[in-house]
Amino acid sequence: MAQEYNLSPDWLNDGAKGYLVGGVSQGAVIFSAPGIVVKSPAIAQLLAMKLCAWRDDVDIEDARHLLRSLSGNQGQIWAAIEPYLLPGAELKAQYALLDLWETTYGPD
């Protein structure tokens, strides 16, 4: 694709692929052209990825924005993101969600 459209070989950042679990969920199509269709992952999957990474203030604020986009109580949100958690990072994600929930909505 890069060669066909005269793009740099590193035109597509694939750094997030390590956090994709269970395949890409079926979100909205955000770009379509001959030979490529780009879909956005579901918000629950994006939140799971941010909670598993939980690296810095950028992840925290991104996760807060995603959390506010979802409806439900803490248990319902956890159930929605659980299928997308990176194996081995479940506990990290759980603590991250607890912290995020408390700083966003107060103690549960």
Q: What is the pTM of this model?
A: 0.77
Per domain, the residue ranges of the chain are 15-105
Q: Looking at the predicted structure, is the pLDDT value of residue 1 above 80?
A: no
3-class SS letters over the chain: CCCCCCCCCCCCCCHHHHHCCCCCCCCCEEEEECCEEEECCCHHHHHHHHHHHCCCHHHHHHHHHHHHHCCCCHHHHHHHHHHHCCCCCHHHHHHHHHHHHHHHHCCC
pLDDT digits (tens, 9 = 90+) for 77-91: 999 999 999 999 999
Q: Which pLDDT belongs to residue 107?
A: 82
> Where does the pLDDT of residue 19 fall: very low under 50, low under 70, confident under 90, or very high at 90 and above?
low
> Average pLDDT of 91-103?
96
